[in-house]
Amino acid sequence: MKQLWAPWRMEYIKSDKSEDCIFCSLPREGDDTKNYILYRGQSAFIIMNIFPYNSAHLMVSPFRHFGCLTEQDTSEIMELNQLTHKCIEILRAVINPDGFNIGYNIGKAAGAGYDEHVHCHIVPRWTGDTNFMPVLGETKVHPEHLKTTYKKL
């Protein structure tokens, strides 16, 4: 069995989690640049992950607070899917990754950091993007600052 280690995620794991859900509170603040919100639809939005697995790691989340895909209405299903497609198109045009990991973590056991508000992860990948730095150096190297990536996207 192979092991996947992500020690750079420890900062997030150990960080204080506010009682407020980030997928509810950040859109309410209205400062999209500060909160790395790239796009707002009618029922969902695209936001950058500030603890990314890889550069330009995006998330698509509904505005409405619910914890499982089975709780979506038809318009939310459609828009979450459409915004996931939009993420792929934007990422291909701007940073040209070799592939993507796309998925939902439903429930704490599945690794959801915010298990009561469903959201989709869109992680761009490049051939050879996993190297010794995260494993031995406990450091994930991102080629540019989050603010620079936000401006590009």
pLDDT tens, per residue, the chain with 153 residues: 445 556 655 665 565 555 689 999 999 999 999 999 999 999 999 999 998 888 899 999 999 999 999 999 999 999 999 999 999 999 999 999 999 999 998 888 887 788 899 999 999 998 877 654 454 355 566 667 888 888 988
Task: Compute the C-alpha angle 14/18/24, nearest 5°.
Answer: 125
pLDDT in tens, 105-117: 888 888 778 889 9
Q: Choosing from 57, 117, 119, 121, which is the catalytic residue?
A: 119
Residue 81 is given by DSSP the state: H
**Residue 145 appears among annotated catalytic residues:** no
pTM for this structure?
0.79
Give pLDDT, residue 136. Answer: 39
Q: Give the DSSP letter of residue 18.
A: P
- Burial letters for 90-108: b for 16+ Cβ neighbours within 10 Å, e otherwise? bbeeebebeebeeeebeee
- Strand, helix or coil for residue 99: strand
Instruction: Give pLDDT tens digits for 18-46.
Output: 568 999 999 999 999 999 999 999 999 99
Q: Is 113 helix (H, G, I), strand (E, B) or coil?
A: coil
* CATH (residue range 23-152): 3.30.428.10
